[in-house]
């Protein structure tokens, strides 16, 4: 392929709204352009990478016994109402009406559609297990579209769905898919980690997120050398034991105009670890009191799961006043009546703690669990933090890293088959719910994640397997007869063996050609100059190596070297 014939509109500068390095480089290298917020065009170079990633994924899905399908991108509202997801997804769904005013949405993922297919076409245990997958555009009206194709409003996802007769079969297959996802990450050249995760709107009992490790990642993971690893949102927190003190009488103290834990701690010269932070939440329209230690933070996902609530949010000022009889900042669990109290494990451990007194400008000293207040539930409801001990080995301090979630695998169980009544007949002719798993991977997000993980000041460094071209030939003067001849010979030999080669035939200065080659990030560059050709040589350089690693080789030597590298 000739550079001059392809649409590769490289840019010296990134547009001012490019928010992370992968967006800057995707736009500058001419892979991608922005149409509107969260909507991007992939140009020929971008699409070449996307197709390579797609093929890696397709191979792995086929090896895992999957069958490829294509579903519509427009779903009837009625289907998503069956599972309640029309409302759970809420504003993230792009909704539309047809000419008869019937409502639809654009595909966010396809659990309902595939379950509908299966409930109509699978009748017997003899047809199970089965796994269907597709590469399909997904639409999500994200609150904050950002980071280019990393969090866009339209993106390509590979979504797969498996159907089983029982949990044991799902369990076995989940492992197969876990291995397939691991292989995909390895083939794409990622440094990654698979961690346990919160299932979000898709639901289900158990899931893993495949995280590409990079400091710019939106997600935080918590892990331990013992093998424990989870999304920080889900990290379990152990009870922090405290040595019990002699219980002292409770005592009101004046703290005029000081409500926040840090300010009260300063005023009284006490560690926030001695505080009970008292927050009023509204869970499904009812107020609840939530207690964590002064230096801890409430994990709203844990809280919501514990309460089995559809919605939880901090209460407004009026509710706080009506629950505590005091302005915000003076709430405490003692003296509260007729309200559900939920205490974190480490709060119940505190002796002689400090809390708000439910009275303006007053706090209460020496508050003790059971004597001064009770809790309806004592459970793990806080966020993990630096210094916490691993909940699995209970020995080492947890470690934290940031990452980009590129894939998500779920054991769904009967979540969808129950609400959609997807049944099969077992060997005894008895009706049973089909057991499901689902497995998503963000194909377009993989492009951005790769670049986040693999770039330098000059541009992208594509891993060999997913590079848009494997080799770039840069003839410095393509008009020179000998140069042209050598270029074409090398090109012919490499491409006849299946390598993708880009020839920079443009009439540009060498500096510009080199800059573009580095920016685009093709793994190997062959430079052909009249000067070196005079000695029968051409240059070979690997993109990931420094400039001092350029080697002079005969054209045949370059060809055989590259064929060896790419195992052709």
| Contacting positions for ligand ATP (CB under 6 A) | 109, 140, 142, 149, 151-152, 155, 157, 200, 202, 405-408, 440-442, 444-445
Minimum distance between the CB of residue 517 and ligand ATP, rounded to whole angstroms?
28
Minimum distance between the CB of residue 400 and ligand ATP, rounded to whole angstroms?
18
- Residue closer to ligand ATP by CB (options 107, 288) is 107
Q: What Cα–Cα distance (Å) separates residue 542 from each residue in 191, 406, 480?
A: 20, 27, 25
Using an 8 Å Cβ cutoff, are 453 and 190 in contact?
Answer: yes
- Residue closer to ligand ATP by CB (options 77, 146) is 146
- Residue closer to ligand ATP by CB (options 37, 549) is 37
- Residue closer to ligand ATP by CB (options 5, 144) is 144
Minimum distance between the CB of residue 41 and ligand ATP, rounded to whole angstroms?
15
Instruction: For residue 535, count CB atoms less than 10 angstroms from its CB and return exposed for 0-12, middle for 13-18, buried for 19 or more.
Output: exposed
Residues present in the chain in total:
568
- Residue closer to ligand ATP by CB (options 204, 475) is 204
- Residue closer to ligand ATP by CB (options 94, 400) is 94
| E strand intervals along 62-127 | 67-68, 74-76, 95-97, 103-106
Q: Tell me the residue nearest to ligand ATP as measured from the CB.
A: 442
Minimum distance between the CB of residue 140 and ligand ATP, rounded to whole angstroms?
5
- Residue by residue, DSSP assigns 532-549 as HHHTT-EEEEETTS-GGG
- Residue by residue, DSSP assigns 212-254 as EE-TT-SEEEEE-TTS-EEEGGG--------PPPPP---EEEE
Q: What is d(CA 291, CA 338) in angstroms, rounded to the nearest whole number?
A: 16
Structure tokens, 502: 């880009």
Using an 8 Å Cβ cutoff, are 280 and 289 in contact?
Answer: yes
- Residue closer to ligand ATP by CB (options 57, 323) is 57
Q: What is d(CA 126, CA 320) in angstroms, rounded to the nearest whole number?
A: 58
**Nearest alpha carbon to residue 566 among 519, 496, 505:** 496
Q: What is d(CA 276, CA 396) in angstroms, rounded to the nearest whole number?
A: 27
- Residue closer to ligand ATP by CB (options 333, 407) is 407
Q: What is d(CA 261, CA 259) in angstroms, rounded to the nearest whole number?
A: 6
Q: What is d(CA 283, CA 292) in angstroms, rounded to the nearest whole number?
A: 17
- Residue by residue, DSSP assigns 386-434 as TTPBPTTTSSSBPEEEEEEEEEEEEEEETHHHHHTT-EEE-TTS-EEEP
Minimum distance between the CB of residue 410 and ligand ATP, rounded to whole angstroms?
8
Q: Are strands 471-475 and 501-503 parallel, antiparallel or unpaired?
A: parallel
Minimum distance between the CB of residue 408 and ligand ATP, rounded to whole angstroms?
3
How many other C-beta atoms can be found within 10 angstroms of the C-beta atom of residue 307? 20
Q: What is d(CA 510, CA 528) in angstroms, rounded to the nearest whole number?
A: 11
- Residue closer to ligand ATP by CB (options 145, 521) is 145
- Residue closer to ligand ATP by CB (options 155, 163) is 155
């Amino acid at each position: 392929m000739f550079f001059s014939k392809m649409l590769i509109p490289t840019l010296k500068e990134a547009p001012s709204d490019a928010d992370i390095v992968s967006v800057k480089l995707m736009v500058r290298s001419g892979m991608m352009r922005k149409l509107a917020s969260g909507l991007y065009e992939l140009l020929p170079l971008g699409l070449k990478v996307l197709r390579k990633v797609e093929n890696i994924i397709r191979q792995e899905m086929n090896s895992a016994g999957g069958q490829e399908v294509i579903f519509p991108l427009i779903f009837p509202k009625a289907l998503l109402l069956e599972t309640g997801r029309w409302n759970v997804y809420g504003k993230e769904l792009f909704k539309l009406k047809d000419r008869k005013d019937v409502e639809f949405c654009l595909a966010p993922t396809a659990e309902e559609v595939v379950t509908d297919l299966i409930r109509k076409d699978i009748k017997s245990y003899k047809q199970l297990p089965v796994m269907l997958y597709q590469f399909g555009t997904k639409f999500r009206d994200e609150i904050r579209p950002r980071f280019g194709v990393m969090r866009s409003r339209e993106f390509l996802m590979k979504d797969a769905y498996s159907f089983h007769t029982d949990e044991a079969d799902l369990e076995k297959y989940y492992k197969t898919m876990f291995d397939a996802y691991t292989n995909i990450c390895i083939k794409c050249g990622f440094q990654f980690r698979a961690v346990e995760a919160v299932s979000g709107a898709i639901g289900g009992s158990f899931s893993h997120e495949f995280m590409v490790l990079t400091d710019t990642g939106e997600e935080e993971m918590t892990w331990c050398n013992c093998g424990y690893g989870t999304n920080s949102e889900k990290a379990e927190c152990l009870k922090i034991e405290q040595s019990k003190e002699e219980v002292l009488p409770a005592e009101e103290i004046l703290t005029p105009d000081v409500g926040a834990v840090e300010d009260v701690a300063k005023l009284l010269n006490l560690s926030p670890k001695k505080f009970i932070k008292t927050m009023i939440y509204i869970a499904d329209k009812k107020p609840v009191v939530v207690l964590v230690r002064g230096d801890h933070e409430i994990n709203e996902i844990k809280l919501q799961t514990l309460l089995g609530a559809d919605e939880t949010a901090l209460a407004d000022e009026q509710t706080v006043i009506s629950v505590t009889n005091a302005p915000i900042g003076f709430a405490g669990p003692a003296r509260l009546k007729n309200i559900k109290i939920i205490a974190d494990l480490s709060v119940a451990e505190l002796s002689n703690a400090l809390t708000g007194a439910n009275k303006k400008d007053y706090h209460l000293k020496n508050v003790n669990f059971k004597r001064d207040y009770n809790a309806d539930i004592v459970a793990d409801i806080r966020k993990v933090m630096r210094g916490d001990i691993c909940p699995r080995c209970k020995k080492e301090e947890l470690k934290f890293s940031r990452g980009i979630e590129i894939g998500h695998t779920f054991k769904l169980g009967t979540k969808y088959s129950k609400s959609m009544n997807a049944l099969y007949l077992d060997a005894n002719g008895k009706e049973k719910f089909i057991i499901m798993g689902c497995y998503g991977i963000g194909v377009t997000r993989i492009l951005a994640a790769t670049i986040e993980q693999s770039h330098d000041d000059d541009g992208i460094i594509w891993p060999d397997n997913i590079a848009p071209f494997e080799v770039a030939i840069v003839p410095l003067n393509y008009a020179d007869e000998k140069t042209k001849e050598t270029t074409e010979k090398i090109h012919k030999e490499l491409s006849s063996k299946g390598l993708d080669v880009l020839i920079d035939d443009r009439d540009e200065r060498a500096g510009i050609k080199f800059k573009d080659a580095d920016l685009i990030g093709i793994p190997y560059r062959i430079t052909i100059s009249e000067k070196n050709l005079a000695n029968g040589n051409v240059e070979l350089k690997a993109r990931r190596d420094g400039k001092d690693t350029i080697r002079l080789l005969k054209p045949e030597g370059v060809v055989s070297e590259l064929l060896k590298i790419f195992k052709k």
